[in-house]
Each structure stands twice: as structure tokens, then as C-alpha cells.
């Protein structure tokens, strides 16, 4: 690890440094760094007196978000549409991809609902079949896409309850080989793990930023592969989805010609202040180093796995590092009681599908993990 975690805690997460909470719940809601809170406050102060808000500041904030997100996932800014949540991008995929009668979309039965309901609804209206494998499994997924008429795969990179992580490059390679669209919900993986969308042959990524990207509610993004963009028409239309809409002096020169980039899917008005916060958080990520953040998170998760192995504790999370991200779910016979004990000790966590879900991140320390696990041990 190349950054000073104690200094980071004092500067950006003072409540953590003060011992207010051992926060192991980033998989639910990520805390905001101090700089992010300040950025949102500064932007809101300008919004309170709109004459101080220039066009360059307002829309430049969104342009900066596209640049930072593109850098984060090794994409191009033109492939990024800003969005308020993960569901937006999944709906873009479900309603804009050329899917119809006779086509099959593969998902997983243990998915978070945001990556299920859009496909169920679109399948009902558009006539394709949405078929789910019984559980998140690399082997089962790769076998499922061998079936006839599979046109798309839509999975979460990291499963929300168990923490199971799919091998995206391996799946993407098979999808590309077979001409199958590959759609990824990245919200539980991006941050703890690194993502190269082009190396993974992903067509569409949907990701809210309120969890592992430590950004405000209402900030997120959708990635659409550049050569796919011209083939897709928005299912719902924003007034700034068309060419020429940046010129506010000619708003009634109506021309329904889509933008050439992913902004054709973007829906204005976006919460500008939240994207100012996103920018501040992502700048912190790049200062610390994406690899360092991922390594530190992996080490903390590994500490929990070692504790479980030493005590014979059942885990929903795979033990192999390649199939893990930042979530470790422990299946204990008295999970509800132990969860209450953790809460009483100010260890913030989640209880998901009958398991205690711990999600440490780069602002946590090894001592904090030891303290939380001691509560479970006792």
C-alpha cells in the first residue's frame, strides 16, 4: 500500500479516525470524503445565487465527470453518459439493444433486483426471453451462453449478497466470439477491483457511484461501447440528446438527429452538485492510486477470510481471491443475534440473505477488522 491510511482517515474521514464507527458497509452506502462534502457545498452555494453560476462551471462539471469516469474504466469520454443510478443504464440496455422475439437474454437468479426487473419488463413487451441461471457461477454462465439464440448476457460483476465476482474478460471473450451483447452492472465491483471495459469486451456498463466510488446519491454513469452507439436509439428522449442542443440560442430549431456519442442517452437535468462531489471523490482515487486501493481492500477482505477459515465458519463468499472483491459474507447459525452485537459495538455492516455481510474498504484498518471479528468471536 502506497498511501498513509491513518493520514487519510484524519483528513478525509475524521469520524473514522475518532472511532465513531467501524464502518464495514460500503457495499450498502459509501461514506463521503471531506473533500467531496466540501465540493457539493461549494457548488450548492453557487446554486443559491445563480448569477454566480457560469455556463462553463455548470456544464464543465459534467464534462469533467465524463473524463474522470472514462479514465477510471479505461474508456473514452465520448462513451460515457452520466446518470443518476445503476438502473438507468440497465434500462438503456434492456430497451435500446436490438432484441425481440426468439432472442434470449441470460441473467442470474441471485441478482440484485435492479438487474432483473428491467429485463423482465422489456422481455414481456418486446418478446424476447429472459432466462436466469440458478446461481452466480462462471461455469454455469459460460455453459448457458452456448444455448441457441442467446443474444445478450446481463450480470452483476460482483453479486450483492455473496460477493461472488465474475471473470469479466473470460465472459466478454466468449460473448464477443459468439456475437452476444455483454452488459455489466458494476456497482459492487468498481473500486475494490480494476476495470478495463475494452479489454473485457463489455458493451454496456451501468454503475451508480454511491457505494464503492464514495460519491453522493444521484451520481452514476452508463458506458456504451463507441461502435455500438450509432446502432442504438434512446428509448426515452432528453432534450439535450440531439446535435446542436448545446446552443441555447437556437432551441426551437428542432432536429431529431442524435448526438454521435453516449450523451444521446443522457437525461438532463442532472444533479450537477452531486457530480461535483463525484469529481472530488474520483480525484482522491487517482491521488491514492487505483491499484493501491484495490490491494488494501483485498488484504482486509483476506483477513476476514483467514479468520473464518481458522474457525470453520461457513462463507457465502468464494475463498479464492480471483472470485472476490470487497464483500465477505459470513453464514453463521446465529447471524441475527451476532448482527445485533456488532451494531451495539458500532460496527456498521449489513445482514443480507441470512448472512453477515462485511465490506471493508481503503479507509479501514487491519485493527478495525480485528476488533469487529473479536466481537463475532466472543
DSSP conformation letters of 122-180: HHHHH--EEEEESS--HHHHHHHTTSTTEEEEEEESB-TTT--B--HHHHHHHHHHHT-
CATH 1.10.8.640 fits 42-286, yes or no: no
Binned at pLDDT 50, 70 and 90, residue 1 comes out as low
| pLDDT for 2 | 81
pLDDT at 352: 87
**pLDDT, tens digit, 9 for 90 and up, residues 111-161:** 999 999 999 999 999 999 999 999 899 999 999 999 999 999 999 999 998
Say whether pLDDT at 315 is over 80.
yes
Q: What is the mean pLDDT of the chain?
A: 96
Instruction: Please report the pLDDT score of residue 138 as a whole number.
Output: 95
Q: What is the mean pLDDT of residues 305-334?
A: 94
Residues ≥6 apart with Cβ < 8 Å to 102: 127, 128, 149
pLDDT in tens, 29-56: 999 999 999 999 999 999 999 999 999 9
Higher pLDDT, 352 or 71: 71
- Encode pLDDT of 153-198 as tens digits: 999 999 998 999 999 999 999 999 999 999 999 999 999 999 999 9
- pLDDT per residue as tens digits for the range 91-114: 999 999 999 999 999 999 989 999
Architecture label for domain 5-24+289-377: Alpha-Beta Complex (3.90)
CB atoms within 10 A of CB 53: 15
Domain assignments of the chain as residue spans, ordered by start: 5-24+289-377, 42-286
Q: How far is CA 35 from CA 12, 20, 31, 234, in A?
A: 7, 19, 12, 35
- The pLDDT of residue 353 is 83
| pLDDT-derived band at 301, boundaries 50, 70, 90 | very high
pTM (whole model) above 0.85: yes
The predicted pLDDT at position 213 comes to 98
Helices (DSSP H) in the chain: which residue ranges? 5-12, 14-17, 34-48, 55-73, 86-96, 117-126, 138-144, 168-178, 272-288, 290-311, 335-344, 366-377
Do the beta carbons of residue 215 and residue 277 sit within 8 Å?
yes
Amino acid at each position: 500500500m502506497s498511501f498513509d491510511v491513518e493520514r487519510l482517515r484524519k483528513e478525509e474521514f475524521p469520524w473514522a479516525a475518532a472511532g465513531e464507527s467501524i464502518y464495514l458497509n460500503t457495499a450498502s452506502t459509501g461514506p463521503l470524503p471531506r473533500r467531496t462534502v466540501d465540493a457539493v457545498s461549494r457548488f450548492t452555494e453557487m446554486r443559491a445565487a445563480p448569477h454566480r453560476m457560469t455556463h462553463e462551471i455548470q456544464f464543465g462539471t459534467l464534462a469533467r465527470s465524463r473524463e474522470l469516469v472514462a479514465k477510471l474504466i479505461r474508456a473514452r469520454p465520448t462513451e460515457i453518459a452520466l446518470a443518476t443510478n445503476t438502473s438507468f443504464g440497465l434500462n438503456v440496455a434492456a430497451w435500446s439493444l436490438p432484441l425481440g422475439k426468439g432472442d434470449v437474454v441470460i441473467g442470474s437468479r441471485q441478482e440484485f433486483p435492479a438487474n432483473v426487473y428491467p429485463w423482465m419488463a422489456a422481455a414481456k413487451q418486446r418478446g424476447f426471453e429472459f432466462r436466469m441461471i440458478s446461481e452466480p457461477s462462471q461455469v454455469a454462465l459460460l455453459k448457458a451462453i452456448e444455448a441457441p439464440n442467446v443474444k445478450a448476457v446481463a450480470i452483476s460483476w460482483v453479486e450483492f449478497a455473496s460477493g461472488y465476482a465474475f471473470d469479466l474478460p473470460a465472459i466478454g471473450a466468449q460473448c464477443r466470439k459468439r456475437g452476444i451483447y455483454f452488459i455489466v452492472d458494476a456497482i459492487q465491483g468498481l473500486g475494490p477491483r480494476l476495470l478495463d471495459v475494452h479489454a473485457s469486451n463489455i458493451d454496456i456498463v451501468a454503475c451508480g457511484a454511491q457505494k464503492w466510488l464514495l460519491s453522493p446519491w444521484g451520481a452514476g454513469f452508463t458506458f456504451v461501447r463507441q461502435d455500438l452507439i450509432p446502432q442504438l436509439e434512446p428509448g426515452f428522449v432528453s432534450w439535450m440528446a440531439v446535435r446542436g442542443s448545446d446552443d441555447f440560442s437556437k432551441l426551437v430549431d428542432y432536429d431529431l438527429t442524435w448526438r454521435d456519442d453516449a450523451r444521446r442517452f443522457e437525461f438532463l437535468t442532472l444533479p450537477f452538485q452531486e457530480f461535483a462531489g463525484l469529481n472530488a471523490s474520483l480525484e482522491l482515487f487517482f491521488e491514492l492510486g487505483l491499484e493501491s486501493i484495490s490491494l488494501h481492500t483485498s488484504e482486509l477482505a483476506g483477513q476476514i477470510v483467514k479468520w473464518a477459515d481458522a474457525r470453520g465458519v461457513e462463507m457465502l463468499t468464494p475463498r479464492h481471491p480471483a472470485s472476490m472483491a470487497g464483500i465477505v459474507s459470513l453464514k453463521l447459525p446465529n447471524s441475527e443475534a451476532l448482527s445485533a452485537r456488532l451494531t451495539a459495538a458500532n460496527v456498521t455492516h449489513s445482514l443480507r440473505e441470512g448472512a453477515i455481510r462485511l465490506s471493508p474498504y481503503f479507509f479501514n484498518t487491519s485493527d478495525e477488522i480485528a476488533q469487529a471479528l473479536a466481537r463475532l468471536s466472543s
